[in-house]
Amino acid sequence: MADSKGPEPEDTAEDVDPGEPLALLADLGVEPRAGFFDRVWNSVERRQLGGSFLELIWHIPFVVLREVLEVLGGFLGETREGEGEPD
């Protein structure tokens, strides 16, 4: 049974025949409809915005916890420094 980790040594890219050039297909190009690129761009931006919101929502609890621990550490550090001094 063949291992599915990659191509066999005899199936390298140098041995593959690329066939006829695709220059014959150049005249068959079709222009996209008006607004196609705008719709694609808006879709990409919408997904990026959603990802940014999810990243923000995921990181907010950790940032708040870190800030609370820093504030508590500041309060504890101030009381420990002043404990040994007489009033």
If pLDDT is split at 50, 70 and 90, which confidence band does 1 have?
very low
User: Looking at the predicted structure, is the pLDDT value of residue 7 above 60?
Assistant: no
Per-residue model confidence (pLDDT) at position 13: 62
Question: What is the per-residue pLDDT across 33-80, written as a single tens digit (0 to 9) for each?
Answer: 889 999 999 999 999 999 999 999 999 999 999 999 999 888 887 765
Per-residue model confidence (pLDDT) at position 25: 72
Tokens of 76: 């504890």
Instruction: Answer for the pair 24, 30: CB distance below 8 angstroms, yes or no.
Output: no
Question: What gap in Å lies between CA 8 and CA 6, rounded to an integer?
Answer: 7
Residue 55: φ, ψ to 5°? -65, -40
Per-residue model confidence (pLDDT) at position 5: 62
pTM over 0.85: no
